[in-house]
């Protein structure tokens, strides 16, 4: 079992920044991939960014150049730095972990609301 706890969401004006945090209950050494997803009202959950094996990062085209995913191995925490926020970034953001045991097991946090509005 893996517990994920997100924080850092809130209300921000267009062009502003937020940093989301996700504290993970186990060491990253046992986790294959960490990621951030989001789900806006009436839409499907979509991948925002992820880190695979602690090295390879991938981003959705809509956030490239604005969002950065990173992790702190000492604090067992994954971050999503979001800059130049747009109203279309409004969504509930979820932290995700994939463990190979040996098949892939997905774990999710409870989500944190991000609202971009003037």
43-71, pLDDT tens digit by residue?
999 999 999 987 899 999 999 999 999 99
In which band, very low, low, confident or very high, does the pLDDT at 7 lie, cut at 50, 70 and 90?
Answer: very high
Q: How far apart are CA 97 and CA 102, in angstroms?
A: 14
Average pLDDT score over residue span 30-50:
95
In which band, very low, low, confident or very high, does the pLDDT at 12 lie, cut at 50, 70 and 90?
Answer: very high
Percent pLDDT > 70 in the chain is 100
Beta bridge pairs of residue 28:
none
Q: CA angle, 37 as apex, 56 and 12 as ends, to 5°?
A: 110
Q: In Å, what is the CA distance from 5 to each residue of 53, 56, 63, 93?
A: 20, 23, 23, 11
């Amino acid at each position: 079992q893996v517990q994920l706890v997100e924080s850092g969401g809130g209300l921000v004006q267009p062009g502003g920044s937020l940093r989301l945090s996700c504290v993970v209950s186990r060491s990253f050494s046992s986790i294959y991939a960490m990621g951030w997803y989001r789900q806006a009202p009436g839409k499907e959950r979509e991948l925002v960014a992820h880190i695979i094996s602690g090295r390879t990062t991938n981003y959705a085209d809509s956030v490239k150049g604005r969002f950065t995913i990173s992790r702190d191995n000492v604090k067992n925490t994954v971050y999503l730095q979001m800059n130049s926020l747009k109203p279309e970034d409004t969504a509930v953001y979820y932290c995700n972990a994939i463990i190979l045991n040996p098949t892939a097991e997905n774990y999710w946090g409870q989500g944190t609301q991000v609202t971009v509005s003037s």
